[in-house]
């Protein structure tokens, strides 16, 4: 059987989206908030198969999630949203849902992403606001260590394999010989070891400026948390501070990371025997693991899903890896291998 072409895949996705839109309207019309009519407008593009809309009726507005159940089941979103909301985190409130069809009606946290608000004058205060909820989130592990799945070695390695398969092999057309494969495997193992030796806490897993909203109150609104796990204590901080979508001076970021270290010390989530040097090594290498994953995902979004715009974020993201290699020489062979194919 001849596999479908990207164009055929795109048309199938469009047909499915059109079919689901009719089902979505039927569901919305059954909700008491919207029975008297509403306007439905598409919202931001998501790096998944989910779609979002804003529904307006009278003076009210809500966000609608459309998640095809065979691709993006909503049960984890519902479960995690309810728990995070109960902890006082500023996540959307679930108004109604249909788990079988994959539809959710949510409270509206607005459309002011922190990414759109950040500038040189306010970045320090925005980062302070955004880092504050992380201590609350991470402390959830103390009361319910089994609530979220583990960010285990298999998952960590699988994410880095996206870099190998979609960026190196697919995007750069790199022919990786046995020595290159061994180099990658050893580097990936070292990065996974770094993640697993850290204290394991609740991790949002995509805590960055496009998923954090300015809602007019502190803390910021938090989106896209359905993939939360129990994992490394530095993960969410590095997602925010070494953001794939906007970069800040290296010295500033390192100073901010050490400020978060002090917060964790005061909270008791870090033990006193964890030095600043150890924490910054965790932070740097955790960032490399995340950025390799992100580069792989950006490449996959282009080739598999036709979302070419994410390729523009690769140079910024790769630069974080290069910077880390300046401090951690064992990464320099990875950088040299990759840059051989980039030129």
Q: Whole-model pTM?
A: 0.91
Q: Is the pLDDT of residue 95 over 60?
A: yes
pLDDT tier for residue 46 given thresholds of 50, 70 and 90: low
Q: In the chain, what percentage of residues exceed pLDDT 90?
A: 89
Average pLDDT on 178-189 reads 97
Q: What is the pLDDT of residue 216?
A: 81
pLDDT in tens, 275-333: 999 999 999 999 999 999 999 999 999 999 899 999 999 999 999 999 999 999 999 99
Mean of per-residue pLDDT scores for the chain? 93
What per-residue confidence (pLDDT) applies to 15? 55
Residue ranges of E strands in the chain: 39-42, 51-57, 60-66, 94-98, 103-107, 200-203, 212-213, 221-222, 229-232
pLDDT in tens, 173-182: 999 999 999 9
Q: Output the pLDDT for position 119.
A: 97
For residue 217, what pLDDT is reported? 72
Q: Please, are residues 118 and 246 in contact by the beta-carbon 8 Å criterion?
A: yes
For the stretch 247-265, pLDDT in tens is 999 999 999 999 999 999 9
State the pLDDT confidence band at 11, using cuts at 50, 70 and 90: very low
Q: And the tokens for 284?
A: 């740097």
Does the structure show a pLDDT above 90 at 47? no
pLDDT of 7 above 80: no
Confidence of residue 1 (pLDDT cuts 50, 70, 90): very low
- Angstrom CA distances, 99 to 6, 204, 315, stand at 29, 22, 39
Full set of structural domains in the chain with CATH: 6-107 (3.30.200.20), 114-342 (3.90.1200.10)
Q: pLDDT grade, residue 269 (50/70/90)?
A: very high
What average pLDDT does this structure show over 188-201? 98
Which DSSP letter does residue 244 get?
T
Band of residue 343 on the pLDDT scale cut at 50, 70, 90: confident
227-240 mean pLDDT:
98
Q: What's the CA gap between 33 and 26, in Å, rounded?
A: 14
Q: In b/e form, how buried is each residue of 151-169, taking b as 16+ CB within 10 angstroms?
A: bbeeebeebbbbbbebbbe
């Amino acid at each position: 059987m001849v596999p479908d072409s990207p164009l055929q895949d795109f048309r199938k996705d469009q047909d499915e989206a059109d079919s689901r839109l009719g089902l979505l309207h039927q569901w919305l019309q059954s909700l008491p908030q919207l029975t008297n009519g509403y306007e439905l407008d598409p919202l931001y593009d998501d790096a998944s198969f989910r779609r979002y809309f804003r529904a307006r009726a009278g003076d009210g507005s809500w966000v609608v999630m459309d998640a095809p159940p065979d691709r993006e089941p909503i049960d984890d979103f519902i479960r995690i949203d309810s728990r995070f909301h109960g902890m006082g985190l500023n996540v959307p409130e679930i108004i109604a849902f249909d788990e079988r069809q994959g539809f959710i009606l949510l409270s509206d946290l607005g459309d002011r992403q922190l990414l759109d608000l950040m500038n040189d004058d306010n970045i320090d205060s925005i980062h302070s606001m955004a880092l504050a909820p992380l201590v609350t989130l991470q402390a959830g592990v103390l009361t319910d260590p089994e609530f979220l799945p583990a960010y285990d070695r298999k998952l960590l390695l699988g994410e880095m394999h996206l870099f190998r398969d979609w960026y190196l092999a697919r995007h750069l057309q790199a022919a990786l010989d046995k020595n290159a494969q061994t180099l990658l495997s050893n580097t990936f193992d070292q990065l996974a070891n770094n993640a697993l030796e850290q204290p394991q806490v609740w991790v949002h897993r995509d805590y960055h400026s496009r998923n954090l909203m300015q809602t007019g109150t502190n803390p910021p609104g938090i989106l896209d948390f359905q993939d939360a796990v129990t994992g490394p204590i530095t993960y969410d901080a590095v997602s925010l501070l070494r953001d794939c979508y906007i970069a800040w001076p290296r010295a500033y970021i390192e100073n901010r990371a050490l400020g978060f270290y002090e917060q964790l010390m005061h909270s008791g989530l870090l033990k006193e025997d964890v030095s600043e040097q150890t924490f910054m090594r965790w932070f740097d290498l955790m960032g490399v693991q995340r950025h390799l994953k992100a580069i792989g995902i950006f490449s996959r979004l282009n080739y598999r899903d036709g979302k070419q715009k994410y390729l523009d974020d690769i140079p910024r993201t790769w630069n974080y890896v290069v910077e880390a290699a300046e401090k951690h020489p064992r990464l320099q062979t990875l950088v040299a291998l990759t840059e051989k194919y980039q030129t």
